[in-house]
Structures are given as C-alpha cells and as structure tokens.
Amino acid sequence: MLESFSQRLVSCLPPSCFLARWGGDEFTIIVPLDKDVSEVNKIADLIINNLKDPFFIEKYTVYVTCSMGIALYPSDGIDSKKLIKNADIALFRAKQMGKNNYQFYITKLSREQTLLFELENRLYDALKNQELFLNYQHQLDLKTNRISGVEVLLRWQHPNLGMVSPSKFIPLAEETGLIISIGKWVLETACLQAKKWHNLGHQNLIIAVNVSVKQFQQGDFVEEVKDILEKTKFNPEYLELEITESLLMQDVTRTEFIINELSNLGVKFSLDDFGTGYSSFGYLKKFPFHIIKIDQSFVSDLAINKQDQALVSAVITLAKGYNMMVVAEGVETENQKKLLKNLHCDLIQGWLVSKPLKEKDFLAFLNK
C-alpha cells in the first residue's frame, strides 16, 4: 500500500520536487517554487484528485484519503525544524477540517485548535512519562446486591494541564494511532491489576476494558490479547471487552473472526452505548455478545420519560431472548434504580453505586 501510494504521489510531482516518507503513513514533499505559490495549490489539488481512484492491493480494493499541511520558506520559517513544525500545525488544521483537503500555515490558530494541537503533542509522551492511570467503576447485580464486574476507565493527568477528559484525548489518540500502544498498556495493566485482586480473595471479579475500533483494525489484535493473557496469567473467562457498534460496522468479516477467536478462549464481549447508533438487531444475532450496555442518555430521563421506559424495557426483553445480560449505564438516582429493577435489568453502573475510583480506593471498597 505504501509503495503504491508513493508511486501515485510521485506521478503528481514535477521532477524538481523531493519526496520522503516521514514515518508511518506520513510523507513530506519539498517543492522548489519557480513562479509563485499557486504552483503548490496545483500540486496539492492534483494529489487529492489522484487519490480519489482506488488502489488495488492483492485482492483488495482500497480507498484512501489524505490531509496536507503547507509551510512556505522563508515566511513560515528559515530552517527545516521550524518549517516542518509549521507544516505540522497546518496539517493538524487540515485534519480538523475533515479529510481530503490541504491548509497553509497561519500564525493564529483558534484557542481551541491551539489547545488540541498541544494536547496531541503531549499525548505522544503521556505513556512514556507515566501520566496515564486507570480508574475503576463497578457494576452492581440488582438480584444479589453484589459487585459483578468493574469497568476500567482511562485517565490522563498532565503535570501542567491537569486532568484531561477522556472525551477530549481518546478521539485524539484514535486519530493519531496512539490508541494502539495506549490500549495495549490499558489491557495489560488492567489484567495485572485484576489478577492481584483475584489473589487477594476477590476471585469472581470480572474486568471490562474498552476497546477502540483502531485496535481491532491493527493486524494482530487476537495475538496481542493472547500474549497479554499469557504474560499476566489472567484467566480469559474474567476478561470482558467493551466495543461499540461503530466498530461492528467497519469490517464485518474481520470483526467476526476476532470476536469468535477470542470468545473461544473464554473472553466475553459487551456492546457499549447501546441505543445511540443504528442499534441493528442484526448485530445481536451475528455476534456472541454477553452483555448489552444501555447508554446513559436513556437512563437519565427514565423517571419522567415514558418513551425511554418503553425503549429500555424492550431492550431488556430482547436481551433476555438472546441470553444476554443488560447493564444500565449512568444510574444516578434511587428512583432510576427502582425502575430498572422493576424492568428486570440485571446490572447497574453509575454514580449512585460509585464514582470511578482509584486503585487503592477500589480495593478498600472491595474489602468492605
């Protein structure tokens, strides 16, 4: 793919240009200008147009998109370091504007763009600098009143920025591909942690780890999970992976393969944020889910909204028919809990039961 892509790029460039692969799927082009800047626009337009045609790689037809950032010498920098940095800032803006476009460097990013750009750059070092840690939020079994499982929630504490919300940095981690190394770290740390809890006498605790689409798309996700389970000596039966529908819609054959391979080992799967996407019944039939998690947006108005009640009730009935358990997310009030119990919801998770806790606090809670 990279080779074909480079060839396609070369075909768009005048012979005086210089093309290099910068790393991963990033390329750098140096364009000597004869006349004026419009030459650069022409090249960029040509590249975007040329990439509209698919690539044929072995038996696959592959469509790609690209984003370009442009910095000019000497106005945007007089050395390579500065030029590359500013091209990178322009690239960041191009990505933000959606795929398949290019942007020139401008000195002023909006406040929000500056913040995101800084976040992205700092995220590269977060793992190495040990700024990431995990929080744990358990699920309560409404029948037995016991803890059944615990969801692992990633946190990032930056020395200057303070706590950064997952809803901000996880999309960035996904976009940059960093989620692959971060996700691996989360899974391994969670297994090690849960193993400790099991050894301390909490043998039946299940840990639920969120997995992003990007992790599934990498070549060897199954191997990676197997390696981690072996390395940490963690029993796969106590590992649950939370995935969202958007993941199921990607590459159904591959996803099916991954879910089946890991399910055969005993790993469980839950369908996260159910109700927010297409909520296709086809997925429930096709994939062996263990748990459906009803999104908190349906739980929050449960007490006052009859339609939400009908919907939650229907999902619970449906899940029972498929032998799946149901978790209601974001339960904040006693009233919601009571309603969910009446509707025969199996498990609840939310601030009413507990906020996400640090490792130490969660252990203290478990012991109590």
Does position 186 bind ligand C2E by CB under 6 A? yes
Q: Which of 137, 232, 255, 270 binds ligand C2E (CB under 6 A)?
A: 137
Interacting positions 190-229 with ligand C2E (CB under 6 A): 210-212
Interacting positions 195-224 with Ca ion (CB under 5 A): 210
Q: Closest separation between CB of residue 269 and ligand C2E, Å? A: 14
The DSSP secondary structure of 234-259, one letter per residue, reads --GGGEEEEE-HHHHTT-HHHHHHHH
Does position 240 bind ligand C2E by CB under 6 A? no
Strands (E), 6-118: 18-23, 26-30, 55-57, 60-62, 67-70, 101-104
Helix (H, G, I), strand (E, B) or coil at 177: coil
Give whichever of 275 and 356 is closer to ligand C2E, judged by the CB atom. Answer: 356
Q: Which stretch binds ligand C2E (CB under 6 A): 7-15, 17-25, 52-60, 329-337?
A: 329-337
Neighbours of 20 (CB within 10 A): 11
Give whichever of 188 and 272 is closer to Ca ion, judged by the CB atom. Answer: 272
Distance CA 50, CA 130 (A): 42
The encoded tokens of residue 223 equal: 């191997």
Does position 272 bind Ca ion by CB under 5 A? yes
Decide: 330 and 296 in contact? Cβ < 8 Å.
Answer: yes
Amino acid in the structure at residue 324: M
> DSSP secondary-structure letter at 99?
S
Q: Closest separation between CB of residue 329 and Ca ion, Å? A: 5
Question: Looking at the DSSP assignment, which residues form a beta bridge with residue 68?
Answer: 102
Helix (DSSP H) and strand (DSSP E) numbers for the chain: 15, 15
Give whichever of 119 and 186 is closer to Ca ion, judged by the CB atom. Answer: 186
Q: Closest separation between CB of residue 109 and ligand C2E, Å? A: 25
Pick from 234, 242, 292: nearest CA to 266: 234
Distance CA 225, CA 217 (A): 14
Does position 275 bind ligand C2E by CB under 6 A? no
Distance CA 148, CA 110 (A): 46
Does position 242 bind Ca ion by CB under 5 A? yes
Does position 240 bind Ca ion by CB under 5 A? no
Q: Which of 120, 240, 273, 346 binds Ca ion (CB under 5 A)?
A: 273
Does position 120 bind Ca ion by CB under 5 A? no
Pick from 307, 281, 317, 311: nearest CA to 295: 311
Q: Which partner from the list Ca ion, ligand C2E, none does 154 bind, CB cut-off 5 to 8 Å by kind? A: ligand C2E
Q: Which partner from the list Ca ion, ligand C2E, none does 153 bind, CB cut-off 5 to 8 Å by kind? A: ligand C2E
Give whichever of 211 and 292 is closer to ligand C2E, judged by the CB atom. Answer: 211
Distance CA 26, CA 300 (A): 43
Q: Closest separation between CB of residue 297 and Ca ion, Å? A: 10
Q: Which of 69, 149, 275, 356 binds ligand C2E (CB under 6 A)?
A: 356
- Cβ-count burial of 216 within 10 angstroms (0-12 exposed, 13-18 middle, 19+ buried)? buried
Mark residue 275 as left, alpha or beta (left: phi above 0; alpha: psi -120 to 50; beta: remaining): left
Decide: 102 and 48 in contact? Cβ < 8 Å.
Answer: yes
Give whichever of 95 and 184 is closer to Ca ion, judged by the CB atom. Answer: 184
Q: Which stretch binds Ca ion (CB under 5 A): 198-206, 223-231, 265-273, 278-286?
A: 265-273
Give whichever of 88 and 329 is closer to ligand C2E, judged by the CB atom. Answer: 329
Which spans of this chain sit near Ca ion (rule: CB under 5 A)? 210, 242, 272-273, 329
